[in-house]
Amino acid sequence: MSKLGNRIVQYIAGICVSFAFSFTGATISWPSPVIPKIKSGSANLQLTDTQISWMVALAALGALPGCYIGHVLSERVGRRRTIFCAAVPGIIGALMILITKMPEIMYIARILMGISNGITAVVTMIYLTEIADKEIRGALGMLVQVMINLGALAMYGIGPFVSYNVLNSILTAIPIFNLTISLWIPESPYYHLKDGRFAAAKKEFMIIKGCKDVKRAEEELSVIRVHVRDSMENKSTIKELLTKERYRKAVYIIIGLKVLQYMTGSLAIQSYLEVIFRQSSSISGPYASIVYGFVQLGAGVGATFLAGYFGRRILMLISCTGVAVSLSIVGLYFYLQDTMLINSETLSSISTVPLIGILGFNILYTVGLGNIPYIMQAELFPINVKTVASSGATMMACVFNFAVTKSYQGIKDVFGHYTVFWSFASIAYFGVLFIYFFVPETKGKTLEEIQEYMEESKLEMEMLHVKDNIELSREKSNL
């Protein structure tokens, strides 16, 4: 079952469910072309800078309940139906944005869009990792970043050149299209096995794997069932996740990766992109944003191929190092411009530096930090805590995202633009060390093999702990 022809359902299903993230990308990037429209008056909206910052940040806050809803629905009604449900609040929120001019209604709309994104973030990565063969799981997982970039490109490339209402109509069409193309997808066999429905799991497994050999399917599914049964013997509450030692290493790794993924400022930069370019680059803000969008999309596509040849760990090390250097360069430009107040002639000669730095950040973030943490949060945890862990990790990411997007404007106004970028860069420098010393490689391993590895790591730590206690006891007895 390793031939390409047998994986056609996996590829098509992966593309269809990943498209939901195009709405995530559009939601994040929507403020970039909208803020200049609001400030120029062409949107017929009266919003202060404070109201704009809330409008930008509330989508991240809305994703918090979305994560919880995604967890509950994924466990109770299945991965497939939850993917459908994710589109509903997004459609309602986008329609509200389209018809309202009231800031308070826009806040509610952005929260609803965030709920949609939260549900999507929890269920989609679980679904992808559960249906994909180990050889293509990384590539399918990287499709998420491609779709985020595609949605962002739609906002960057079309937004500055169409009216406010046309832009919002496009935003509304995205989740409707996603709901339509996902109607056919099969359910994850893991969901059925979790509840003991072996026959239903076998039916979905044979569709997903392109397998017509019933006996072979039963043999492979039986191996998976053993691991699922062992996992389900343990409780699956958030308390168990945070207190059980067997999950502790995975929890620490995912917390660190989520800090790197969101506290390096990617979503704040995407939301305020056109504003950043208007304040720095000699290239016009709208056109620089379009360049950013195309580069981001190309980097996402390239990353799907890189994931098939390089490990998760090496890609994240390269990504984190590049992000740190790129953000440092952008921060240096703003330091020279705003604090050192260098003359306009010198500033003009280096006016492309922010564009180069932001594009470098864009490419290198997409290669690793932008998506691999999503893949690993679905890989490192066993099925009994997978939805709890994924929803918890995504909720934590929402808090980070809200903090970064809401504080961006305030920190910029008080401490200067360079402080924002150097703060992001310092987190990325820390991340290089974190990834090198703590993050394991999961490429080429089945989900069952990853769990066996995590268990072996836990046993090794326990043996070291026992050995240290024995040596300490001997030292005390000698004394």
- Reading the chain (479 residues) residue by residue, the pLDDT tens digits are 444 447 888 888 889 999 999 999 999 889 888 888 888 888 888 888 888 888 888 988 888 888 888 888 888 888 889 999 999 999 999 999 998 888 889 999 999 999 999 899 888 888 888 888 877 777 777 788 788 888 988 898 898 889 999 999 999 999 999 999 988 889 988 888 888 888 888 888 888 888 777 888 788 888 778 777 766 666 566 677 777 777 788 888 888 998 998 899 888 888 787 777 777 655 666 777 778 778 877 877 777 677 667 778 888 999 999 999 999 998 998 888 878 777 777 777 777 888 888 888 988 988 888 878 877 877 787 777 776 777 778 788 888 888 888 888 888 888 888 899 999 999 999 999 999 998 888 777 777 777 777 766 555 555 545 455 555 566 555 55
Give the separation between CA 396 and CA 459, rounded to whole angstroms: 28
**pTM recorded for the entire structure:** 0.72
pLDDT of residue 393: 80
* 8 A C-beta contact, residue 373 and residue 434: no
pLDDT of residue 27: 92
Q: How many angstroms separate the Cα of 57 from the Cα of each of 53, 72, 163, 271, 345? A: 6, 25, 23, 9, 37
Place of tokens 């096995």: 193
Q: What is the set of domains in the chain, with CATH numbers? A: 4-185+234-445 (1.20.1250.20)
